[in-house]
Structure 1
């Protein structure tokens, strides 16, 4: 994933927005993994919410646009399969006690799966979107993502 830090709230470029959200997701996984008690529970709730709205916006806006790329159907189908698996594990975790020792093992698996998925999106989908669409188009897509996130469910 990109190490470039971009402020999620101020970026108007679709790719920068999504990469910044991936960075925030990575940070929230770290908070969950390295905290306990109430702090872990709060970090996990924030992670669940961000993952839910982020993936909804990708499914509604980003993936349909990416299907227009050469080979886009295959790229998107692979990402959707990864997202389905992650959603299933997230749903299981959402019902667990964050202090349960099994929670850490499962959240670590989810972390690996989600971060691997995010790297694949950035490499195979996002960079190609930046190459194929103009800055004005990417700005419009970012606005559409923000609108989708505003009405997205906040749970898996």
Structure 2
């Protein structure tokens, strides 16, 4: 059974709207898109990378704003700080990949390293953070977190912003501007 299939099976066991279920589904999507980027060429590779970039930018911002603070409150302060640092590193790498462009040799050289960093980060969340949330929060609390996560994702930037990554105050201060600029940039690139 593939890692993506395992994640989807675990997620299906949790109630709809549960923050851990949502995050497991997103992790499966991230893994699938990483695989697609690594095995595609031309327009398919570009589309897969754009989809991955958006998913990661939105996902990581929402985790930093909604999930990691709760983890910190429930005994995982060191873990939350480490996860935020990992997300900052991944954001920096994602920004470099975006600058390189999928057609460049630098992209092809750097993407496998980025994929390893992302995989290690998601595994850490799944191995340590998610069990902490499942054991310290009741179903209602996790469902409310799922709603907050979804709301944060709706207004999160769609491109990496390493200067704000890893810091809730910086995310809150810059997110409205970054989000509007990113969404306009995305709309213009599609036209």
Bigger proportion of residues as helix: 2
Q: Deviations over 1:54-83 (max 9, x none)?
A: 00100110011111112x110101111111
| 1:59 matched to 2:74 | no
What residue is the counterpart of 1:11 in the other structure?
Answer: 16
What CA distance in whole angstroms lies between the structure 2 residues aligned with 1:142 and 1:32?
Answer: 28
The correspondence for 1:129, drawn from 101, 125, 133, is: 133
What CA distance in whole angstroms lies between the structure 1 residues aligned with 2:53 and 2:32?
Answer: 13
What CA distance in whole angstroms lies between the structure 2 residues aligned with 1:13 and 1:132?
Answer: 14
The correspondence for 1:23, drawn from 20, 28, 47, is: 28
Q: 1:91 to 1:4 in 2, by over 3 A?
A: closer
Higher RCO (C-alpha 8 Å, min separation 6): 1
List runs of 5+ in structure 1 lacking aligned partners: none
What residue is the counterpart of 1:87 in the other structure?
Answer: 91
Q: Which runs of 4+ in 1 moved over 6 A?
A: none
The correspondence for 1:45, drawn from 50, 63, 66, is: 50
- What is the aligned length? 153
What residue is the counterpart of 2:172 in the other structure?
Answer: none
What CA distance in whole angstroms lies between the structure 2 residues aligned with 1:4 and 1:91?
Answer: 27
What CA distance in whole angstroms lies between the structure 1 residues aligned with 2:47 and 2:110?
Answer: 17
Q: So what's the TM-score if we normalise by structure 1?
A: 0.93
Deviation at 1:13, TM superposition (A): 0.8
What CA distance in whole angstroms lies between the structure 2 residues aligned with 1:138 and 1:110?
Answer: 30
The correspondence for 1:109, drawn from 85, 107, 113, is: 113
What CA distance in whole angstroms lies between the structure 1 residues aligned with 2:79 and 2:120?
Answer: 14
Look up the SS of the partner of 2:121 in the other structure. helix
List runs of 5+ in structure 2 lacking aligned partners: 161-191
Q: Deviations over 1:25-46 (max 9, x none)?
A: 0000011001000110010000
Deviation at 1:152, TM superposition (A): 0.3
Q: So what's the TM-score if we normalise by structure 2?
A: 0.77
Deviation at 1:127, TM superposition (A): 1.0
